Amino acid sequence: MEGPAPSAISEPAGLTIVIVNWNGGEKLLRCLSSIRASRTTFPVKVIVVDNDSRDGSRELAAAEFPEFLVLNTGANLGFGRGNNFARPYVDTPLVLFLNPDTELFPDTLEKAVHSLLSRPRVGMLGCQMRYPHGTVQELGLQWFPTPGRVFLELLMPGLLRWGPLSRWVLRQDPICSGPVQKLYGGFLLVRKSVMDTAGWFDDRYFMYAEDVDLSRTIQALGWGLYYDAGCAIIHACGASSEKAPSGFSVLMKHRSVNQLIEKYHGAWAARRHRWAVALAASLRLAGLWLVRALPLRSVFQRSVLENALQSTLLLREWACHGRQAQVPDHPEQSVTVTPDRSTKPAQVS
């Protein structure tokens, strides 16, 4: 594959970690503690971009980790705009976008940076993510969304991932390393020069699709993506979205996917995506109501069944009636925000 000129593994490996926080609470503090405990042979800077949290996590982070830079955006900007807010402060060759609900192992940063620098054609690298109890998290299917693919993922996720259809679907085993088509936003290690060429995150998305869009953009620029199962983090999942109003995650994910489809395939494809979601949700509801009505329901946990019904109803409401996620503390229009602290981030010793 033709691509940018290779960079040597001996290039300066200064790293800036950017964490976008919104009411992350104790999870944010555990994340920062794990960074402080990291063992690296290169300088590391940390920037916490706080989306105007109301739980005191910004103040606690600034007080307990004075060596890190903590910025307040003044509003809930979401994931992409929050990361873009840190752009003027990033002056290292590498940048890591890290979720606040993650914890690093002491060797995670060293392994990840070495892995990226040893692959001169790779522009962005992801790592293995594990739930707090140790189970390795599955990776999303390695294709970009279209109306038909979204329909299949909603209607038969198990068959696509582990069933007879999985042999025809591009997947990545999370316990195996290798080149991938998509990486996900819990841990994204990127060359800053690549980010600058890509224009950083597309801020049309509030959250959930920026990482997929960035993956596509970086590959279009001639760089590869790599998933390294040899370095890992703990990812609790949902530190921010669980604080948002009920149904936020379901509604926002599909809104963002719809925006992604419209960006690359046009308004007509975005409309077909809504129709596909409406049809898939209706078919799912029919199956869930059947399970609820028959003795089969004893096989399922009642709470799991009720949650599935509620999320599927929300999905159909979004597709059929345009119901939108309610984003707390989000500015209705573009705003100019000023950090509440302007000192440069210090290095992790």
Q: What integer is the mean pLDDT of 158-181?
A: 75
Sequence-separated (6 or more) residues with CB below 8 Å from residue 277: 150, 151, 154, 254, 315, 316, 318, 319
**318 phi-psi bin (left φ>0, alpha ψ -120 to 50, beta other):** alpha
- Structural domains of the chain sorted by starting position, each given as residue range(s) with its CATH number in brackets: 15-139+174-240 (3.90.550.10), 244-321 (no CATH)
* Cα–Cα dist 53/60, whole Å: 11
Q: What is the pLDDT of residues 328-348, one digit of tens each?
A: 666 554 333 333 443 333 344
Reply yes or no on whether the pLDDT at 310 is more than 60.
Answer: yes
pTM of the entire structure?
0.84
* Cα–Cα dist 303/308, whole Å: 8
Reply yes or no on whether the pLDDT at 237 is more than 90.
Answer: no
Q: Between these two residues, 330 and 61, which has the higher pLDDT value?
A: 61
* Cα–Cα dist 214/316, whole Å: 28
User: Tell me, what's the pLDDT at 321?
Assistant: 78
* Cα–Cα dist 181/170, whole Å: 9
Reply yes or no on whether the pLDDT at 300 is more than 70.
Answer: no
* Cα–Cα dist 32/39, whole Å: 14
User: Tell me, what's the pLDDT at 322?
Assistant: 73
Q: What is the pLDDT of residues 2-23, one digit of tens each?
A: 344 444 445 557 999 999 999 9
Report the percentage of the chain scoring pLDDT > 70. 81
Sequence-separated (6 or more) residues with CB below 8 Å from residue 15: 40, 42, 43, 44, 45, 92, 94, 95, 96, 109, 113
User: Tell me, what's the pLDDT at 153?
Assistant: 84
* Cα–Cα dist 221/194, whole Å: 8
